[in-house]
């Protein structure tokens, strides 16, 4: 809110046009470094995790189901997981949230 107020005062005050554009660029730079860049990094980490899945991994799905990976179909991005003894379901690879037992979510 303060930044917006300063920008509006600079624009309305008849001051230098340069100060207005510098403020606009500063806001976009801050947004990039604090929002966009970390999100892209996190997406790359998630993709790397999902590509490193192996049969036998204990995983947690986005729905909160704890399961064991039984089969991976990379062509269709489908993973078959066992949620109970003899109960297997097929889910999209993008629905796998983290490995079970990790202290930090991926």
HSE (CB half, 13 Å, CA atoms) of 80? 7
* Confidence (pLDDT) at 4: 67
Residues 6 and 44 reside in one and the same domain? yes
Residues 10 and 41 reside in one and the same domain? yes
Residues 62 and 39 reside in one and the same domain? no
User: 68: pLDDT confidence band, cut at 50, 70 and 90?
Assistant: very high
Q: What is the pTM of this model?
A: 0.60
Domain boundary among 10, 31, 48: 48
Residues in Cβ contact with 53 at an 8 Å cutoff, skipping those fewer than 6 apart: 59, 69, 72, 79, 93, 96
7-12: list long-range contacts, CB under 8 Å, 24+ apart: none
User: 20: pLDDT confidence band, cut at 50, 70 and 90?
Assistant: confident
Helices (H), the chain: 2-12, 17-31, 37-51
Residues 59 and 89 reside in one and the same domain? yes
Domain assignment of residue 12, yes or no? yes
Looking at the structure of the chain, the number of domains it has is 2
Please tell me which residue, 54 or 102, carries the higher pLDDT value: 54
Please give the residue range of the domain that contains residue 93: 54-99
User: 92: pLDDT confidence band, cut at 50, 70 and 90?
Assistant: very high
């Amino acid at each position: 809110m303060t930044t917006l107020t300063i920008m509006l005062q600079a624009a309305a005050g008849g001051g230098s046009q340069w100060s207005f554009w510098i403020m606009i660029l500063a806001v976009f730079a801050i947004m990039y470094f604090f929002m966009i860049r970390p999100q892209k990094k996190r997406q790359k980490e998630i993709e790397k995790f999902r590509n490193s899945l192996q049969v036998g991994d204990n995983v947690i799905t986005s729905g909160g189901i704890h399961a064991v990976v039984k089969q991976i179909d990379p062509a269709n991005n489908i993973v078959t997981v066992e949620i109970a003894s003899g109960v297997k379901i097929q889910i999209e690879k993008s629905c796998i949230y983290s490995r079970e037992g990790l202290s930090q979510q991926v």
